[in-house]
Amino acid sequence: EAQVTQNPRYLITVTGKKLTVTCSQNMNHEYMSWYRQDPGLGLRQIYYSMNVEVTDKGDVPEGYKVSRKEKRNFPLILESPSPNQTSLYFCASSPVGAYEQYFGPGTRLTVT
Amino acid sequence: GDSVTQMEGPVTLSEEAFLTINCTYTATGYPSLFWYVQYPGEGLQLLLKATKADDKGSNKGFEATYRKETTSFHLEKGSVQVSDSAVYFCALRSSRNSGNTPLVFGKGTRLSVIA
């Protein structure tokens, strides 16, 4: 089944404790992206990647890192999480030039 | 920069009522326009799209027409069902760059349909 998977789905952590949210797609898509969803703000892009080893900042990259060492994986790294990073995070992928993006199920992160 | 404005929710309708969710956009050139739907506990799914002026996107009884003169892409459905309860996002992709330019989303409109 073609899909985008994210792990974990739910995470509660404390301020300053490094964490990684994984994202993997099995559709051989070149493009991958991370969004955060907050009430009243909709979805905002954090980082995106056009292909392996090619990443770029989105609208709200502060406090996040990404890497793209393999085509199928695009992990989101929070080196020192803070409470304002409490949010619902979505990973998405698509072929280059395609209109539709395929979204993962989301990761709900709470930083206390 | 590019932006999308959609009507504030929540919207509560009775089953079989007519639905309109307004969406207007600001962008240079000729963006592609989308409606995504998010069902409870799930990620976003593409509902419909339109890539040029006067195009009509349609899917599952939903329709939206790309109106360049009014920079709008309103979502409509003639008769909603309880299963349509979800959050609906209007989005655009700029035409300025080749490849995958980021999607710009509206803030979302929550629809609740009651039997």
Q: How long a stretch of residues is chain B? A: 115
Average pLDDT over residues B78-90: 96
Q: How far does A12 lie from chain B, in Å, by closest CA? A: 17
The predicted pLDDT at position B100 comes to 57
Taking the C-alpha atoms of residue B34 and residue A73, their distance in angstroms, rounded to an integer, is 26
Taking the C-alpha atoms of residue B6 and residue B89, their distance in angstroms, rounded to an integer, is 8
Looking at chain B from residue 70 to 89, which residues have their Cβ under 8 Å from any Cβ of chain A?
89
Q: How far does B112 lie from chain A, in Å, by closest CA? A: 17
CB-based contact B44 A33, cutoff 8 Å: no
- What's the pLDDT tens digit per position in B33-55? 999 999 988 889 999 999 999 99
Q: Is B93 on the interface with A (CB under 8 A)?
A: yes
Q: Is A61 on the interface with B (CB under 8 A)?
A: no
CB-based contact B42 A106, cutoff 8 Å: yes
CB-based contact A99 B45, cutoff 8 Å: no
The predicted pLDDT at position A2 comes to 82
- B16 three-class SS: coil
| Structure-token pair, residue A64 | 């996040």
Long-range contacts of A35-42, Cβ-Cβ distance < 8 Å, separation of 24 or more: A35/A89, A35/A90, A35/A91, A35/A92, A35/B105, A36/A60, A36/A87, A36/A88, A36/A89, A36/A90, A37/A87, A37/A88, A37/A89, A37/A90, A37/A106, A38/A87, A38/A88, A40/B107, A41/B107, A42/B89, A42/B105, A42/B106, A42/B107, A42/B108
Mean pLDDT of chain B: 91
- What's the pLDDT tens digit per position in B57-66? 999 999 999 9
Across the interface, of B45, B99, B105, the residue whose CB is closest to A42 is B105
Which pLDDT band, with edges at 50, 70 and 90, does B96 fall under? low
Taking the C-alpha atoms of residue B21 and residue B28, their distance in angstroms, rounded to an integer, is 23
Identify the DSSP state of A73. Answer: B
Taking the C-alpha atoms of residue B3 and residue A109, their distance in angstroms, rounded to an integer, is 27
For residue B99, pLDDT over 60 is answered with no
Query: Residue A9: CB partners within 8 Å, gap ≥ 6?
Result: A105, A106, A107, A108
- CB half-sphere exposure, A97, CA atoms < 13 A: 1
